[in-house]
Amino acid sequence: MHITQYHAAARRLHLTILVSVAAPFAATRHVDAQRAPVHGVTLDSAVAVSLVRNPDLVMARLHLDSAHAERRIAGALPNPLLSATPSNPTQYAVSLQLDVGPARHYRIKAGDEGVAATGYDQQDARRQIVFAVRQAFYDVLLADSLRSLAADERGVFQRLLDADSARLRSGSVAERDVVATRLQLAHADAVLSRAVVQQHAARLTLQALLGASTPDTSMMIDGALAYRSRPITVDSVLALALTYRPDYLASEVRVTQSSAALSVARASLIPMPVVGAVYQPSQPFTSGSHYAPSVGLTLPLLYAFSGERARAKTSLAASRVATDRARLQIRSEVTLAYDTYLSARALADRYACGLLTDAAAALEGARYAYDRGATGLPDFLEAARTYAETRSDYLTAVHDYWVGLFGLERAAGIDFVDDRHE
């Protein structure tokens, strides 16, 4: 392409400005991992704070306290009954139900199982909150990275516009080129504004999960998006889920609890003995003593606890259905989480193992061609934007990979990643 020496010098000036600003785009993925550490919230500290202050976990702890109270109620002995008979002669009596039969045994067992099930419910709430915090933390890392990329890209167009405006006054470039650059800068401003809003929204979401009382969009985060692949099989995750998932364990415990409740209803048909003593101060009994023992039974004559037995049978059947449904749901969640993880890992592998390098090579090729006058400025800008978009897609893929890995841990009900990256 024929150009004058003056225009060639102008192109070289363009190139110097663009390459100096676009240099951060050409950094490899290792640069993020080698950033100077920032004193702020880490992934582990965010999880630790959420386990103490998250409202859902606070409610789960309160439910567990209530279950312990129900257990104490189930194991409590009945209070004695005091009575007086003002007649001739006056009598005073005390009686006590002997709650030592099978009904008490099964009632205590149902209370114990209720405490265990509620404990598993608390663990399940913890499982969900930990995943939500980890996802929100990586959402913040992604938002920060995208905001940095948007700011870098805006800097490219701002410096280009400054240079083009100066050359327009000297008559070395056409006005349409300056207009085109100004439009690109306006678009970059819009992208940066949206990135800032997303950055703030991600922080507010994380702070809500941490139970923060005051929103702070300037909260410092200590972490970076970096990719490290690891092999995981779906069978191993499924085996962990059927062993450790607290919601599944809670459903199994509630089957036992419902069975114990049914036994309580049936055992209530057994008469409960009542023992006591009577005091007659005005005159002695025929035995010559002012005291006499008393015995009795509570007979289920007017009501045979049919409602309790029907309710317990229904509860037992429902708990068994819930256990079957939980088992099916676990298989579905593990399968879906594993597919999501594989998809994210494959995409991150592609970007890390070739696409980023190809985009960087294309940018370098466009720079070389532009320096030699073999291509125009629009081609070079397109190559720079393509690399920025590729890097953005790579960061998003790394984010999705880690969220997919956290999703697998949530599906398994246990943390099995021993070297997670913060």
Residue 95, domain CATH:
1.20.1600.10
Q: Does residue 422 sit within a domain?
A: no
Q: How many domains does the chain have?
A: 1
Residue with tokens 């629009």: 378
| Sheet with 291-298, side-by-side order of all strands | 81-85, 91-97, 272-279, 291-298
Beta-bridged to residue 83, according to DSSP, are 93
Q: Does residue 208 sit within a domain?
A: yes
- Does the pLDDT at position 3 exceed 50? no
Q: Tell me, what amino acid is at 198?
A: Q
Q: Does residue 421 sit within a domain?
A: no
Q: Is the pTM of this model over 0.95?
A: no
Between these two residues, 367 and 358, which has the higher pLDDT value? 358
Q: How many CA atoms does the CB half-sphere of 306 hold within 13 Å?
A: 4
Question: What's the CA gap between 359 and 370, in Å, rounded?
Answer: 16
Q: What angle do CA 224, 229, 233 make, to 5 degrees?
A: 135
Q: Does residue 420 sit within a domain?
A: no
- Does the pLDDT at position 25 exceed 70? no
φ, ψ at 174 (rounded to 5°): -80, 155
Evaluate whether 388 touches 25 at the Cβ level (below 8 Å): yes
DSSP 264-300: HHHHTTSPEEEEEEEE-SSS--TTS-SEEEEEEEE--
Domain span holding position 135: 5-412
Q: Does residue 418 sit within a domain?
A: no
Tens-place pLDDT, residues 162-210:
877 887 787 766 777 778 778 888 988 999 999 999 999 999 999 999 9
Q: Does residue 419 sit within a domain?
A: no
Tens-place pLDDT, residues 235-275:
889 999 999 999 999 999 999 999 999 999 999 999 999 99
Torsion angle (degrees, nearest 10) of CA 257, 261, 267, 272: 110
